């Protein structure tokens, strides 16, 4: 298993600004994921972030809007840029458990973003 922490836990931001979310894992992991959970909806994968390579974005998500850094095997950041009220969501960091042949994922507590 893996213990994941996220900062901040919540934030209220003004339209047009940016928010950077940090994700810290207590063990080294190869694959990290960023999800968005819009109000009343399920989780949507934003991108997969592997250490040492560019993040892979899902359809509908672009690097200019959601730049991701992955400087080492225990840390990643997601920036949500040029914020609009539609970006109000919970953003979750997730990692793939090591040593498993299937993709069991563990999730952080999430960052609740409100854009005014």
Residue numbers at the binding site for another protein (CB under 8 A): 4, 6, 31, 41-43, 45, 92, 96, 101-110, 112
- Minimal distance, residue 1 CB to another protein, in Å: 9
Q: How far is the CB of 16 from another protein (least distance, A)?
A: 27
Residue 92 CB, nearest approach to another protein (Å): 6
Shorter beta-carbon distance to another protein: residue 50 or 69: 50
Q: Where are the beta strands (DSSP E) in the chain?
A: 4-7, 10-13, 19-25, 31-37, 43-50, 56-57, 68-72, 75-80, 89-96, 105-107, 111-115
* Residues 1 and 97 sit within 8 Å (Cβ to Cβ): yes
């Amino acid at each position: 298993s893996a213990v994941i922490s996220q900062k901040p836990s919540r934030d209220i931001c003004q339209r047009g600004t940016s928010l950077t979310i940090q994700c810290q894992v207590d063990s080294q992991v190869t694959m990290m994921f960023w999800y968005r959970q819009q109000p009343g909806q399920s989780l949507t994968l934003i991108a997969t972030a592997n250490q040492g390579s560019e993040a892979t974005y899902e359809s509908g998500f672009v690097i200019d809007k959601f730049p991701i850094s992955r400087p080492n095997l225990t840390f990643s950041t997601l920036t949500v840029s040029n914020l609009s009220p539609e970006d109000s969501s919970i953003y979750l960091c997730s990692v793939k458990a090591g040593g498993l042949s299937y993709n069991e994922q563990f999730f952080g507590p999430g960052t609740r973003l409100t854009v005014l």
